[in-house]
Amino acid sequence: MSFLLGVAIFIVALLLSIMLHEAGHFATAKKFNMKVTQFFVGFGNTIWSRKKGETEYGIKSIPAGGFVKIVGMTELDQVDPADEPRAFRRHPGWQRAIVLAAGSFMHFALAFVLLFILAVGVGLATASNSTKVGAVDSCVPASVTAGCAAGAPASPAKKAGVRLGDKIVAIGSVPVNNWTEMGKAIRSQPAGKSVAVVVERHGQRLTLRTSLATLRGHGSFLGVSPVVVFQRYGPLGAVSYAANQFGQIMAGSVKVVGSLPRALPDLFARNRASTPGGQVTSVVGAGDVTGQVLAARIGWQPKAALVLLIIASLNIFVGAFNLLPLLPLDGGHLAVVIYERARAWLARLRGRPDPGPVDFRRLIPVSVGVFALLVGLGLLLIMADLVNPVHILQ
């Protein structure tokens, strides 16, 4: 039930993001007195619509996007002579650029608000310095940043029977009072040799024995994590956090796009989660991950934090991707406007007339090719997420 609730939350958030994206185009187009005839969420057959004024609002059967129809987007569009002064193509370049960029701006604004809410309302996770165990690793990963690969051995802590809530009071013969001391005590013990782990459980002290593993770049490894506490920020601190996190997610989104060629061969690999193929996903995969988070046996704060981060990250990625200078994306249309204005400026410098708008007939093959490539990539990612999903919580 929790899993289905998580998927439902993601779907609602996705539809809200689509509506806000189109609302950005709609509001700015209306502001500049452009004629907007349709505002729809989804594609395909119309499920519901209502006309108010000159605009028809509605919902279509396939919730895979949305659109706002503005009269006269290109010179190829036929426009009633009475509407020509309000056509998109007849407005100044700066106004057209704002309308085209407004969709991505709404994604960015929503992401920033969600990150702000995370810091103010949920709080940010910080590790407690006590020796109370907040998580027991299920395996020995290949490195500090890697996840559990198929066939990885169980962690020493799991083998020893360390439980959540245990307070570790000694490693070997070394007493520990905080997480820093415990880390030093673990790394001082030789890997592969049996060591005593003294824990306090329900008021009683127990001595557990295990052999520490070796973790590349880390040294001796037990496989426990501290209790996580959530600290709420004030408004100024939340703004600072949101700005910093926004930048990190944006940089990560660029990295994901750059790793896409390397990720494709790993989409159907058994160890996808530990390869570049585990870093790319479709909306189906993102919905599945949200469901996993809601179904996980963790507190409400880490659940809320992870869900907000997933939705914020999705919006930042979509907003940035949509600005790529590729038709039929908004960024492609924006690139055309910038090219037209730059060409007109150079013509004025040379004392020549404005060359006018770009001939979109020459761009149609490019637009169709990019669209087909994006659809094919999307279908491939959906297929991978259906038959080889990524499990983020072990």
- Whether 220 is covered by a domain: the verdict is yes
Domain C-terminal end among 226, 243, 277: 226
* Domain shared by 120 and 145, yes or no: no
**Is residue 250 assigned to a domain?**
yes
Q: 218, 228, 224: which is closest to 137 by C-alpha?
A: 224
Name the pTM for this structure.
0.81
239 and 287 together in one domain: yes
Residue 266 and residue 120 share a domain: yes
* C-alpha to C-alpha distances, 332 to 25, 35, 100, 283, 345, nearest whole angstrom: 15, 21, 9, 23, 20
Amino acid 147: pLDDT: 65
- 22 carries an active-site annotation: yes
* Distance from C-alpha of 44 to C-alpha of 62, rounded to nearest angstrom: 6
User: In terms of domains, do 202 and 180 share one?
Assistant: yes
Query: In this structure, are 256 and 310 located in the same domain?
Result: yes
Domain hosting 203: range is 133-226
Residue 338 makes CB contacts below 8 A (sequence gap 6+) with 93, 97
Domain co-membership, 240 together with 289: yes
Catalytic position from the list 22, 75, 181, 200: 22
- Number of structural domains in the chain: 2
Same-domain check for residues 288 and 266? yes
Tokens encoding 201: 């459980």
Phi, psi of 15 (to 5 degrees): -65, -40
Distance CA 362, CA 301 (A): 53
- Tokens found for residue 223: 């496989």
| Omega before 328 within 30 of 0, i.e. cis | yes
CATH number, position 195: 2.30.42.10
Confirm if 256 and 279 have CB atoms less than 8 A apart: yes
Q: Final residue of a domain: which of 176, 207, 226?
A: 226
End-to-end CA distance of the chain: 19
Look at residue 205 in the predicted model and tell me its pLDDT.
Answer: 93
The answer on 238 and 222 residing in a single domain is no
In a domain, 386, yes or no: no
Distance CA(163)–CA(170), nearest Å, equals: 15
206 and 235 in a common domain: no
Asked if residue 217 and residue 181 are part of one domain, the reply reads yes
**Local confidence pLDDT in tens for the 394 residues of the chain:** 677 888 888 888 988 999 999 999 999 999 999 999 999 998 889 999 999 999 999 999 887 788 999 999 988 899 999 999 999 999 999 999 999 999 999 999 999 999 999 999 999 888 778 889 888 888 888 766 666 776 778 889 999 999 988 999 999 889 999 988 988 999 898 888 889 999 999 999 999 999 998 887 778 889 888 888 888 999 999 999 999 999 999 998 888 888 888 888 888 888 787 777 777 888 888 888 888 888 877 788 888 999 999 999 999 999 999 999 999 999 999 999 999 999 999 999 999 998 888 888 888 898 999 989 988 988 888 898 888 887 765 5
Read off the tokens for 217.
Answer: 């770049």
254 located within any domain = yes
Are 120 and 262 part of one and the same domain? Answer: yes
**For the purposes of burial, counting CB atoms within 10 Å of the CB of 21, is it exposed (0-12), middle (13-18) or buried (19 or more)?**
buried
Q: Taking a C-beta distance cutoff of 8 angstroms, is the pair 356, 364 a contact?
A: no
The C-alpha torsion from 135 through 389 and 21 to 333, rounded to 10°, is: 130
Domain annotation covers residue 44? no
248 in the same domain as 172: no
Tokens of 385: 């997420």
Number of Cβ within a 10 Å radius of residue 36: 21
Residue 238 lies in a domain: yes
